[in-house]
Amino acid sequence: MTARPIAVVGASAAGLAAAETLRRSGWTGPLTLIGDEPHLPYDRPPLSKQLLHGTWEPAKLLLRTAEQLAPLDLDLRLGTRATGLDVAERSLTLDGGERLDCAGVIVATGVVARTLAGADRIVGVHTLRTLDDALALRGRLGDPGRRLVVVGNGVLGCEAAAVARELGHDVTLVGVGPIPMAAAVGDEIGALLAEEHRAHGVTLRTGAVDGFESAADAVTGVRLADGTVLPADTVLLAIGSTPAVGWLGDPALDTTDGLRCDAYCAAAPGIYAAGDVARWDHPVHGRPVRFEHRMNATEQGMAAARNLLAELAATTPAPTDGATDRERRPFAPVPYFWSDQYALKIQAYGLTGGADRVETTVLDRAARRAVALYGRDGRGVGVLATGLPPRQLRALRGVVADPLPWEEARDRVAAATSAG
């Protein structure tokens, strides 16, 4: 009897990490990797930076070439979408109607870009989530002198605005709130970012977008709720994303703000999740978190794979004789994210969003050197720095790896940044 496969849904950084870890950790049975895009797994952070700028070509984004994937002996299903999952049967339904009965499933479908009504019918209005999205926008920005309006002043919008300005385009950055990236970094760091964008010639506007102006089905402007029209021949909608869970209709699963998992990344017996789509119980922070950043995708893909194999080894006869780990372990990373805008590199450890207390120290305003500590329930849970050397960044990571009481965390941050 042929062994049932493990299926990884999502040919992403998280999905690839899961597939590779399954093989390294002893899974010798069939292994299916399903991706809805036609491309081999690629890296997403450069889409809004190096690829959009034109300094990288698509081949440089590949996480593995076809030759490098060959030793994994994958049943690789690119351009294929999973449309359903029966939790009790561990059975996937694919868009062609095929049913795939599995030994286990790892969901790594990521997120999808939000858009606005009617945007898909107007030439020049873009989102930026996939390689094809990025290439379409890059093609648009290949013509000089574009008037670009970026709707959304979060991380993606700020990064794309910076690249467009470096390419010489007229850029307006619009946010519902006045401070760029405020939800992720707080008001004071956000104000520094606003200064940097203005210094490079970006126009910052505050307002809700009500729709678009167009002529001959091509965009000519962005209309705000107050009636203001911002002239534009190109628009990027960077208004956030939603977890790609619409295909998960089984009532056994909680898909509120991602696929809900326990501390081991398990959503149900034999069903695990990793990456942007996963909302799991973080053992250190004591609450569910969902983290849309590159480092977490790889680390969680590896953790989900190891824990799935440990479960299978304990509960079913499975081809895991060479498994290196028979015990499930909670996934408790120190979250990390970065953002590059102009020459500025922003790096953060821990949880910076949803803080109930933020303390920012500006070390050099002209150089945009600053550090911020983020607190929750009396403890320092996140730290962010711009313009600091690697040695100081490593010291800051230790402050939030095991969240310290606020006063102690603040003293540790001060000591780290005064060390030179």
Strands 170-175 and 147-151: parallel
Question: In this structure, is residue 323 part of a structural domain?
Answer: no
What pLDDT, in 10s, does the model give residues 183-216? 999 999 999 999 999 999 999 999 999 999 999 9
> Which CATH number characterizes residue 370's domain?
3.30.390.30
Interacting residues of 2 by C-beta distance below 8 A, sequence separation 6+ = 30
Report in angstroms the alpha-carbon separations of 373 from 186, 363, 396, 406: 10, 14, 9, 9
Which domain does 376 fall in, by range? 343-418
Residues 40 and 103 grouped into a single domain = yes
The encoded tokens of residue 40 equal: 């081999």
Question: In this structure, is residue 409 part of a structural domain?
Answer: yes
> What gap in Å lies between CA 238 and CA 225, rounded to an integer?
18
Question: In this structure, is residue 263 part of a structural domain?
Answer: yes
| pLDDT above 70 for 322 | no
Question: In this structure, is residue 14 part of a structural domain?
Answer: yes
pLDDT of residue 112: 97
Residues 197 and 274 grouped into a single domain = no
Residues 229 and 287 grouped into a single domain = no
| pLDDT above 50 for 1 | no
Cα radius of gyration (the chain): 22
Residues 199 and 157 grouped into a single domain = yes
User: Could you tell me the pLDDT band of residue 388, with boundaries at 50, 70 and 90?
Assistant: confident
Question: In this structure, is residue 324 part of a structural domain?
Answer: no
> Which CATH number characterizes residue 278's domain?
3.50.50.60
pLDDT of residue 318: 58
In DSSP terms, 410 is beta-bridged to: none
Residues 161 and 231 grouped into a single domain = yes
User: Could you tell me the pLDDT band of residue 3, with boundaries at 50, 70 and 90?
Assistant: confident
Question: In this structure, is residue 180 part of a structural domain?
Answer: yes
User: Could you tell me the pLDDT band of residue 390, with boundaries at 50, 70 and 90?
Assistant: confident
* Cβ–Cβ under 8 Å, residues 17 and 66: no
* Cβ–Cβ under 8 Å, residues 63 and 37: no
> What gap in Å lies between CA 61 and CA 226, rounded to an integer?
41
In 3D space, the residue among 207, 244, 258, 257 whose CA is nearest the CA of residue 228 turns out to be: 207
What pLDDT, in 10s, does the model give residues 326-378? 799 999 999 999 999 999 999 999 999 989 999 999 999 999 999 999 999 99
What are the backbone dihedrals phi and psi of residue 160, each rounded to the nearest 5 degrees, phi first? Answer: -65, -40
Residues 185 and 39 grouped into a single domain = no
98, amino acid identity: E
What does the pLDDT average to over 237-242? 97
pTM of the predicted model as reported, rounded to 2 decimal places: 0.94
What are the backbone dihedrals phi and psi of residue 73, each rounded to the nearest 5 degrees, phi first? Answer: 50, 55
What pLDDT, in 10s, does the model give residues 53-64? 999 999 999 999
Residues 133 and 227 grouped into a single domain = yes
| pLDDT above 90 for 321 | no
Sign of CA dihedral 11, 12, 18, 22: positive
Residues 170 and 129 grouped into a single domain = yes
Residues 108 and 256 grouped into a single domain = yes
Q: Considering 268, 295, 315, which residue would you say is the last residue of a domain?
A: 315
pLDDT of residue 323: 55
Q: Starting at the edge strand that comes first in sequence, how are the strands of the sheet with 125-126 ordered?
A: 125-126, 234-237, 147-151, 170-175, 203-206
Number of domains in the chain: 3
Residues 131 and 235 grouped into a single domain = yes
What pLDDT, in 10s, does the model give residues 117-151? 999 999 999 999 999 999 999 999 999 999 999 99
Q: Which residue has the higher pLDDT, 415 or 85?
A: 85
Residues 303 and 374 grouped into a single domain = no
What does the pLDDT average to over 18-34? 97
| pLDDT above 60 for 387 | yes
151, amino acid identity: V
Question: In this structure, is residue 378 part of a structural domain?
Answer: yes
Q: Considering 315, 333, 363, which residue would you say is the last residue of a domain?
A: 315
Residues 108 and 125 grouped into a single domain = no
Q: Considering 239, 270, 290, which residue would you say is the last residue of a domain?
A: 239
Question: In this structure, is residue 69 part of a structural domain?
Answer: yes
